[in-house]
Structure 1
Amino acid sequence: MSTIDTLPPLRAVIAEHGLSAKKALGQNFLLDLNLTAKIARQAGDLSQCDVLEIGPGPGGLTRGLLAEGARKVLAVEKDARCLPALEQIAAAYPGRLEIVHGDALQLDPLAHLTPPIRIAANLPYNIGTELLVRWLTPAAWPPVWESLTLMFQREVADRIVAQPGSKAYGRLAILAQLRCDARIVMTLPPEAFTPPPKVASAVVHLTARAQPRFPADPAILSHVVATAFNQRRKMLRAALKPLSMDIEGLLVQAGIAPTERAEQIGLEDFCALARLLEAERRASSV
């Protein structure tokens, strides 16, 4: 499928506007409108939703989201060269595409969007993980978004859905799986992109849960997990020693063998340990 609307094929758009991908901006353009439409469909029924898209580039996914019926798309693009191509899309979908020229890391999307909100993006590789962590750790939960449909390098996607015992398992898996249902819904080879990256890519769909899977103070849990995985080769009784003078006793209370390593511990057990550390801190402050 070379077109999903009355607009020109993406290769023609890129040629017209001289949009060679910039490595400094983490750009790899996906030009097959078959694929961009398929990614848009992974976000679900968009007819009653506003959609935030980061790094639209020449607008392949943007067109897919609009063609799939998104109520409104907010496209945030840092590269000014892409704006004329995006303006052409806005003209083809009157009143449904808002373009913001700026840095996604500095944007407050709520100033532009009306709930319910979903996020769908072929994220620039250089800021993808940072954006995901921000979306997973808002000040209040549930978040302003219902779901995330995001493309990452396959290695990052694997880290998001990883289970205990795997090399990919770590802080990102725990952050994602504490509050979301996460799954890989598509994989794409390097040759699907222009220019081809060195690695495969994957689309991850994350649906926000109403409540976290297990109770735990988010800040304490994050600190425990970061401390554990910063020294993942060490046994937990050593890696987590800075957190408590009785860390070995707390591990046992949480049902964790002190000789285990971080990658062997499931989300539920990390949450149990975080609750015990919180209780210890409260007791010591009385």
Structure 2
Amino acid sequence: MDTQHLRLFVEVARQGGFAAVARDADIDPSNVSRSIAALEDELGVRLFQRTTRKLSLTEAGALYLTKVAPLVDELEHARDEALAISRGATGTLRMTTSFSFGLQALTPRLPEFRALHPQLKVELLMTDANLDLVNDRIDLAVRLGSQFSGDAVVSKLMTTRYMVCASPGYLKQHGSPALPQDLAQHACLLLSLPAFRDAWHFKNARGEITDVPVQGDMVISNLLAHRQCAVQGLGPALLADWIAQEALAKGELVDLFPDHQVTATSFDTGVWLLYPSRNYLPLKVRVMMDFLKTHFSR
């Protein structure tokens, strides 16, 4: 049996159509269709129900998929391991992260990564939507937050710290709040996420937590735009350290409460690496994870 037919069958079943599989494999959709037809002829069963609008697995096709998909994955893993011995990391690493983190923290490091692994292609999907690791064929996801659900394997890349920042120009015009509670007298810059728009939580050195209601007339959805508005003097903003540190170093922003931990959700927040398989970690994923952990540990 032609293993290429099996690979295409699994991908068509996972993606629900010929066109997407053909595009990923850089072949004509008719070739995918012929491959599936050849597999059906060889097995003597129909694997897909085809209509003008929809392609779905038959009962026999669904059963066949459960048996064949792990075998195809193992063949791919064996191929990757064999190639890794002589060629290093190869293939295409499909990874995703948020637009702001990708632009601010990941893309500046890609030239060095490419120099280290010139035979590995990187497909970086920057989106604020949480893509499904399996259905969207994601090898590695970089996500921000405090907790995650699902079957993905999670590894912490770094801890994040939030701070309330404002520009020197804003503070000169409106005064600097002495206490977190003084923010009630300021029009703050708010993120469009619900938890970030109502109250910010402060923890002092003694571990005492103060909940401070916040209000403002500017609600922004993008983190980079959020920082830029703060730099331009439009108000205090709650920013993560990875997005604020450059502006702080340049003196464009001031950390208003350096002796406090601040959050809008949980004090235990970080950047996390997620990958779908608990049984096998491809070399292409491993080298990227090691590269990122080396850089962000600094």
Query: Under TM normalisation by the shorter chain, which class is it?
Result: under 0.3
Higher relative contact order (CA 8 A, sep 6+): 2
The structure in which a higher percent of residues are strand is 2
TM-score (normalised: structure 2): 0.26
Computing the radius of gyration from Cα coordinates, the structure with the larger value is 2
TM-score (norm 1): 0.26
